[in-house]
Amino acid sequence: MELLLPRQRRLDLRQTRLMAILNVTPDSFSDGGHFTGEQACLTRVNELVAAGAEIIDIGGESTRPGAADVALDDELQRVVPVLSTIRRKFPDLVISVDTSKAEVMRQAAHAGADILNDVRALQEAGALEVAVASQLPVCLMHMQGQPRSMQHQPVYQDVVSEVLHWLVSRAEQCQQAGIPASQIILDPGFGFGKSLSHNYQLLAAMPDFVGSGYAILAGMSRKSMIGQLLQRDVSERLAGSIACATIAAMQGAQIIRVHDVKETADALAIVAATKSGVIQ
Ligand code: YH5
């Protein structure tokens, strides 16, 4: 299993890959600071890569529970210059862009993005068309509701089958539109319109998601499924985040999206050694 990236590059997904979160939102608080300045941004990317990040996920929209929508111009200004700067200094780095807006996707692809990561699964106006034209791999995430209200009483009859079936059917629509199955990543969307119990049912069912045959991304880092279970503030969620990453990777998730790269890289090295039964 591998993703085809621009300029003849590939991302091998036979081993779990580590995606590092790079927030470029003014209200971000769980990325270790703000990186709106270009130099600060490059310094942070250097750190993330040195720590073992294999993909950098740049996001300019806050999709935390309760967050308001971001205007297109604000998101463009936050994401595109930073992306261009990172691409210039790191020609081979795998860069994903966390956006739902077609115009951000279009300009990001032009500025050198490798993956389109969309928490709204390409459902906003024009997004699917831009994604098809870009030929980039896409991550389709499941969300019930919208960030502003999604945590007000999420309801499912069977969260695992509903999320899995929704993702597979969205993937099929994307294939109809021209995105090859091998370029589609699915993501259960931890914390996006899910109760504590829903999140753990989804984590326990990771083998079902992996069994779909699509590449799977899991993003649980520092989320409330850790904080609520353990009664920990955001700054105290590292051990829980590593446990979640380890469980997802052991069950075959191909990409893990995290804040704490160095610590998670160690955990993933243990997972890789365990799976192969050999020390390299
Ligand atoms: C995701 O799961 N999540 S943005 C609340 C937190 C901590 C972190 C403190 N983009 C995902 O990271 N893209 C985001 O509580 C994502 N999968 C994919 N594919 C939200 C986030 C966060 C929210």
The predicted-structure confidence for 201-211, as pLDDT tens digits, reads as follows 999 999 999 99
pLDDT at 29: 34
Tally of structural domains, the chain: 1
- The CATH number assigned to the domain holding 272 equals 3.20.20.20
Distance 239 CA to ligand 1 centre (A): 17
The DSSP H or E segment spanning 257 is strand 255-258
Can you tell me the distance from the alpha carbon of 227 to that of 56, in angstroms, rounded to the nearest whole number? 24
Out of 44, 78, 237, 257, pick the active-site residue.
257
Q: pTM for the complete prediction?
A: 0.96
| pLDDT per residue as tens digits for the range 70-123 | 999 999 999 999 999 999 999 999 999 999 999 999 999 999 999 999 999 999
Mean pLDDT of 232-253: 98
Q: What DSSP state is assigned to residue 157?
A: S
Please give the sequence-ordered ranges of beta strands (E in DSSP) within 16-109, or none if there are none: 17-23, 55-59, 94-98
Residue with the nearest Cα to atom 17 of ligand 1? 219
Ligand 1 center–CA 120 separation, angstroms? 12
**pLDDT value of residue 36:** 52
> What pLDDT sits at residue 11?
98
- Give the domain extent around 70: 2-276
Q: pLDDT at residue 30 above 80?
A: no
- Show Cβ contacts of residue 183 under 8 Å, excluding neighbours closer than 6 positions: 3, 4, 135, 136, 137, 138
Say yes or no to pLDDT of 246 above 80. Answer: yes
- Centre of ligand 1 to C-alpha 219, Å, is 6
